[in-house]
Amino acid sequence: MTNKRYHQARFLMSAADLSQLPPDQGREIAFAGRSNAGKSSALNRLTGQKGLARVSKTPGRTQLINVFPISDTEALIDLPGYGYAKVPERVKQQWQALLPVYLTERRSLVGLVLIMDSRHPLRDFDRQMLDWTAAAGLPVHILLSKADKLSRGSAGNALQAVRKELARRVPPVSVQLFSAVDGRGAEEAWAAMDAWLDQR
C-alpha cells in the first residue's frame, strides 16, 4: 500500500539547530513522538520506503531534525524522539529548548503528526507537545501506533479514551489507530496530511 505523493519523500538533510533548516517557506508536516512509540516505522510506512527514517532498537536515536522533501514546496520533518531516560541530559535540554520554538515560530509548519503507543498514550511528554501546539494554534493528528499489538476491543477502548480526553482541545486534535506492521490506518493518516498540505 503506497501513496504517490508521500512515496516521493527523499532525505535532504539533518539539522542540529533551527538555523540550519531550509528556508521557512512552502508547507511542512512534522512528525513527533516519545522514543520507542514507533515514529520512524510510521514515517517509513506512510512513505512506502522501508529505510527512509532509521529504525533503531535503541530508543532515542533520532537526535537531529531530519528533512524529507516530497516536492519542491512540501516536506515531512522528523523531529527528535523525546522522553527516553537513556538520552543524555544535555541532549534532553537541547530538545526542550528547540521543539517549542520550532512549533510556535516555523511559518511553513501546517500540522503535527504525533505518534503515541496505543498501549501507553498521553504520557507526560505527549501532553507537553500538545500544550506547545495548542499555544501555537497548530493542528495535531495523533496516530495511536502499534494497534496490531492490541485486540480489536482494547484498541477501540484506547481510541475512545484518548478522544474523550482531548475532545475540548483548541484547535481540535484528531486521533486514529495505526499500525506500521499491517498498514491499518494509513489511508486515514494520508487524508489528514493531504488536508493540511492542500488547504488554501
Q: Quick one: pLDDT at residue 52?
A: 92
Tens-place pLDDT, residues 121-147: 999 889 989 999 999 999 999 999 999
Classify strands 140-145 and 173-177 as parallel, antiparallel or unpaired.
parallel
Q: Which pairing describes strands 27-33 and 74-78: parallel, antiparallel, or unpaired?
A: parallel
User: Whole-angstrom Cα distance, residue 185 to residue 46?
Assistant: 10
Q: Average the pLDDT over 34-47 and give the result.
A: 93
User: Which cell numbers in the block locate residue 192?
Assistant: 489528514
pLDDT digits (tens, 9 = 90+) for 150-189: 999 999 999 999 999 999 888 889 999 999 999 999 999 9
pLDDT in tens, 65-99: 999 999 999 999 999 877 655 667 777 777 778 88
Total domain count, the chain: 1
99: domain CATH number is: 3.40.50.300
What is the pLDDT, as a whole number, of residue 87? 67
Over residues 86-115, mean pLDDT: 87
Sequence length of the chain is 200
Higher pLDDT, 197 or 16: 197
Structural domain including 31 reads: 4-198
Check if the beta carbon of residue 40 is closer than 8 Å to that of residue 88: no
- Closest CA relative to residue 27, chosen from 109, 139, 122: 109
Q: Is the pLDDT of residue 59 over 90?
A: no
Q: Is the pLDDT of residue 62 over 60?
A: no
Which grid coordinates belong to 196?
493540511
Residue found by looking up cell 534532553 in the block = 92
What does the DSSP assignment read for 39-97? Answer: HHHHHHHHHT-TTSSPP-SSTT---SEEEEESSSSEEEEEPPPB--TTS-HHHHHHHHH
CB 76 within 8 A of CB 29: yes
Q: What is the pTM of this model?
A: 0.93
